[in-house]
């Protein structure tokens, strides 16, 4: 009995060492944040399915994990990302000679369908900004709408990354791991100028904030992600589009809806998808093709295929 327990513990320890080896291998081909996210999924899978040895990673175990995630309201795209992370770990084990084949190949999962982006109308934008103004976080909401920055990028933003004279903003650490320069619109400059009157003497544009009876006081460190999620609740209550028909785990319920709104309005204004992809920090323009349908309905290029419009007339 003791021998079997020792063998099980040794097997578990060996599997966890492989998880760390997998992390290091992923960091060679992906941004640290993306590698960390993949490892987090693998750890959750192993823990939830009580897997102590590589031989216990079966198609049934993977299928059960995905079914549980779906029951919790995870979107199809999220399930696909989970399966991809587990499959990458299994391929790592195959390469190490620990598994004979990738068990995920036996797990059927349809590719997620492309979903048209949700975005706020002008009336909803005005309402959201009014609520933000009343609750003391107008610059945060206004900058998110004017730049399309991810929440993590907002949290990490420092004044050394901002050049109001040149009207540009540097994103040094993004989801993709690639830095980018983002031009600032007049609305973005206005939001940053108002925020500078509060935190211009700090390193972080949005430093940690605490509430007290006389208002707020600040500490020069990153504002916790929990603050941002709690701050958004009054807007979510006032603007139904944030939550209507959305699963509790859906990305579009939170600050990401501001990002979709920025991208959608840019596409509607005729900004090229290549430029929009660069602004949003996507290396592949195909990532932003979901916004293509929002461009102006008529395009004069359609006439180029008609050498003589009069020839198309019914005679």
Most confident among 72-76, 145-149, 273-277 (mean pLDDT): 145-149
Phi and psi, residue 219, nearest 5°: -130, 140
Q: What is the average pLDDT score of the chain?
A: 84
Supply the pLDDT for residue 295.
64
Supply the pLDDT for residue 85.
93
Task: Convert the pLDDT of each residue in 205-256 to its tens digit.
Answer: 999 988 777 777 889 999 999 999 999 999 999 999 888 766 665 556 789 9
* pTM of the predicted model as reported, rounded to 2 decimal places: 0.69
Task: Convert the pLDDT of each residue in 25-41 to its tens digit.
Answer: 888 877 777 888 899 99
Supply the pLDDT for residue 117.
76
Supply the pLDDT for residue 314.
43
Which of the pair, 92 or 8, is modelled with greater confidence?
Answer: 92
Inform me whether the pLDDT recorded for 170 exceeds 90: yes
H or E segment to which residue 218 belongs:
strand 215-222
Inform me whether the pLDDT recorded for 59 exceeds 90: yes
Q: Which domains does the chain have, with CATH numbers?
A: 2-106 (1.10.150.130), 122-294 (1.10.443.10)
Burial class (CB in 10 A: 0-12, 13-18, 19+), 146: buried
Inform me whether the pLDDT recorded for 312 exceeds 90: no
Distances from the Cα of 123 to the Cα of 131, 215, 239, 286, angstroms = 12, 29, 10, 30
């Amino acid at each position: 009995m003791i021998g079997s327990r020792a063998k099980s513990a040794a097997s578990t320890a060996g599997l966890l060492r492989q998880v760390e080896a997998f992390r290091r291998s992923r960091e060679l081909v992906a941004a640290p944040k993306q590698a960390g996210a993949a490892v987090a999924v693998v750890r959750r899978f192993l823990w939830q399915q009580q897997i102590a040895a590589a031989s216990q990673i079966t198609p049934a175990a993977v299928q059960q994990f995905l079914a549980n995630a779906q029951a919790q309201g995870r979107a199809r795209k999220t399930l696909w990302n989970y399966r991809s992370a587990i499959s990458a770990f299994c391929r790592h084990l195959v390469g190490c000679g620990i598994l004979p084949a990738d068990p995920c190949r036996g797990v059927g999962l349809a590719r997620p369908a492309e979903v048209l982006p949700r975005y706020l109308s002008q009336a909803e934008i005005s309402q959201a900004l009014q609520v933000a103004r009343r609750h003391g976080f107008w610059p945060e909401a206004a900058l998110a709408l004017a730049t399309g920055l991810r929440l993590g990028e907002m949290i990490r933003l420092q004044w050394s990354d901002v050049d109001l004279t040149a009207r540009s903003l540097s994103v040094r650490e993004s989801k993709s791991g690639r830095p980018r320069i983002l031009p600032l619109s007049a609305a973005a400059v206005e939001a940053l100028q108002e925020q500078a009157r509060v935190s211009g003497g700090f390193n972080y544009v949005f430093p940690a904030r605490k509430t007290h009876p006389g208002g707020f006081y600040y500490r020069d460190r990153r504002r916790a992600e929990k603050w941002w999620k709690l701050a958004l609740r009054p807007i979510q209550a006032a603007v139904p589009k944030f939550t209507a028909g959305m699963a509790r785990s859906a990305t579009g319920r939170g600050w990401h809806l501001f990002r979709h709104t920025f991208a959608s309005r840019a596409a509607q204004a005729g900004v090229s998808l290549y430029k929009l992809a660069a602004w949003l920090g996507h290396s592949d323009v195909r990532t932003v093709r979901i916004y293509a349908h929002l461009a102006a309905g008529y395009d004069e290029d359609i006439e180029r295929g008609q050498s003589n419009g009069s020839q198309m007339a019914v005679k």
